[in-house]
Amino acid sequence: MASVLQVYSKNIQHFNYLPTYYNKNTFLNLLHFTKALAKLIWIIISNHQIKIVHIHTASRGSFVRKSVIALFSKLFQKKVVLHIHGGEFKEYYRKAGFLKNYIRHILKTVDEVIVLSDEWKIYFDSLIGQQKSIIVNNPVVIPASITPKPIEYPIKVLFLNHIDPRKGIFDLADFFRDNKAWLQDSFELLVAGAGDLGKLKKFIAENDLTKLIKYKGWVSGKDKEHLIEESDLFILTSYNEGLPVSILEAMAYSKPIIATNVGGIPRIVKPGENGWLVKPADKDSLLDIFRQVKSDKDILVKYGQRSFQIAQDYSPVKVNEKLGRIYDDLLTPNLKKLNNNYEKAQ
């Protein structure tokens, strides 16, 4: 979600971002949220030009915080767009207990619910009880130019995400350990991100994988761009997802993708076109894919070119156009039918 907001901040005029999360310290986070809520109320009261409050949320604590903002915004008669990014939302709702009615109430109270894929639209429409949610792609900045990179051994496979079991990184580490002799000199796994670093580094050391798996730290900006550029293949084997910006970023740099068939990923990763889809923790399928790549590394160039083509539909310009139509619909309801007809024509 943070990556999406960074893209918005750089590509949307008058983007007024108000963060509600500080850190993992409960007290400081509560204090920060209270200040953010007070600031929002003051902005709404003092600036009558603000008609819409666009709220980005994940699940769990993020959703609870944002629900309070949604209710206050409606109290001041503002239109509210709830933009849901959380790939864990189904699990969150399943375990929500007495909060389930409250969650459904919030989804029905806001004016629009934005989701990231057809799968999520079906899910949220079922919770809301009506065809209310709208699919909006996550935006990704397309590089102005890309220098073609020859594919040489070892093939650099990039994992760029949270170091968390739910992202599949430890399944991937197990795969490299179990196939170490076969993968050696042919592949190299580059890992970047924050999270359970101690567990990952311990695993690498204990299994003598320093030549196969290299941790690059947490990267951003130019360092992240350089890391994506120097890789040959991107991999993300998550158990749950919305529409991962990390995959879109890799596609914008013409990288083929290995990913799991969860959330909105099948919208952007097309088997036989720009990558491969597997089930979470399916190491046998991973082995088949790595064998295919080793026997024909030129396929990475072909798939990478297709990734770049698909990524064009996720440029900030196109996403901004979609958001603009949503805002127009909220402020001028009689335009909604016209815009709906436009959507069908696309």
Q: Is the residue at 291 inside a domain? A: yes
Same domain membership, residue 179 and residue 67: no
Distance (Å, whole) CA 225 – CA 143: 9
For residue 248, how many other CB atoms are within 10 A of its CB?
Answer: 25
Distance (Å, whole) CA 59 – CA 89: 5
Same domain membership, residue 323 and residue 309: no
Q: Is the residue at 283 inside a domain? A: yes
What is the domain-level CATH number for residue 305?
Answer: 3.40.50.2000
For residue 248, which of 152, 139, 169 has the smallest C-alpha distance? 139
Q: Is the residue at 144 inside a domain? A: no
Number of independent structural domains in the chain? 2
Same domain membership, residue 99 and residue 37: yes
Task: Please report, for residues 79, 96, 261, 277, 314, the alpha-carbon distance to residue 267 in angstroms, rounded to integers and kept in the order given.
Answer: 29, 28, 10, 11, 11
Q: Is the residue at 148 inside a domain? A: no
Q: Is the residue at 303 inside a domain? A: yes
Give the residue numbers spanning the domain of 172: 155-314
Same domain membership, residue 173 and residue 122: no
Q: Is the residue at 32 inside a domain? A: yes
Same domain membership, residue 110 and residue 8: yes
Question: pLDDT 10s digit of each residue in the chain, 346 long?
Answer: 666 777 777 666 666 788 888 766 788 888 989 999 999 999 999 998 899 999 999 899 999 999 999 999 999 999 999 999 878 899 999 999 999 999 999 999 999 999 988 889 999 999 999 988 999 988 888 887 777 788 999 999 999 999 999 999 999 999 999 999 999 999 999 999 999 999 999 999 999 999 999 999 999 889 999 999 999 999 999 999 888 999 999 999 999 999 999 988 999 999 999 999 999 999 999 999 999 999 999 999 999 999 999 999 898 888 888 998 999 999 986 555 555 544 544 4
Q: What is this structure's pTM?
A: 0.81
What is the domain-level CATH number for residue 132?
Answer: 3.40.50
Distance (Å, whole) CA 340 – CA 335: 9
Same domain membership, residue 265 and residue 134: no
What is the 8-class DSSP label of residue 142? P
Same domain membership, residue 163 and residue 267: yes
Q: Is the residue at 23 inside a domain? A: yes
Q: Is the residue at 106 inside a domain? A: yes
Same domain membership, residue 197 and residue 87: no
For residue 123, which of 166, 161, 93, 83 has the smallest C-alpha distance? 93
Same domain membership, residue 301 and residue 184: yes
